[in-house]
Amino acid sequence: MDELQRVTEIRKASLSDFVLKTRKEIEALQEGLMMSEEEKAEFGDFIDDNYTEELLERHEEEAARLRAEVELRGKMLPKVKEWISIKAEEEELERSAQDPNRFKKRGTAMLREEKMRKRVEKLKPKVGSPLPLICMLT
């Protein structure tokens, strides 16, 4: 009886290791797909701590589904991420332009701002609007 209990504990520990490893993969895939917290929460088994074969199987199925989604959207995701980055830089430039003390800054702040402005002006038309891409992602 003690041997059976010991083997059961070892099996449960190894199951937890596999589930946790798969959860890390799922998290990475969700981040890569830029999923919202609501979308992430749809996989309710993510917070289940009762490590069983069934739980591991559901985690592996979710990871496989997310890998397929990444493969399907692989070409679009970098463009969307680039657009988000450019949009963030553009918003930072707008905030900087509204700062009344921006001309009082010392050093290379103005040079950095001008380089960022040129980069945004150059890359934004190349990337274009992400609306067609975002529509394809949903």
User: What is the average per-residue pLDDT within 63-77?
Assistant: 86
Same structural domain, 80 and 55: no
Of residues 22, 39, 29, the one with CA closest to residue 67: 29
CA distance 89 to 55: 42
Task: Count how many domains the chain has.
Answer: 2
Q: What is the pLDDT of residues 106-138, one digit of tens each?
A: 666 667 777 777 777 776 666 666 555 455 444
For 43, phi then psi, to 5°, come to -90, 85
pTM of the model: 0.59
Residue 38 pLDDT: 87
Same structural domain, 51 and 99: no
User: 102 or 136: whose pLDDT is higher?
Assistant: 102
DSSP for 8-72, written as a single string = HHHHHHHHHHHHHHHHHHHHHHHHHTT--HHHHHT-GGGG-----HHHHHHHHHHHHHHHHHHHH
Domain of residue 51, residue span: 2-73
Final residue before a domain boundary, out of 20, 42, 73: 73
Give 24's pLDDT tier (boundaries 50, 70, 90).
very high
Of residues 85, 82, 89, the one with CA closest to residue 113: 89
User: 104 or 11: whose pLDDT is higher?
Assistant: 11
CA distance 137 to 132: 9
Same structural domain, 7 and 69: yes
Residue 67 pLDDT: 92
DSSP state of 89: H
Same structural domain, 63 and 114: no
Burial 89-119 (b: 16+ CB within 10 A, else e): bbeebeebeeeeeeeeeeeeeeeebeeeeee
Tokens of 52: 């069983």
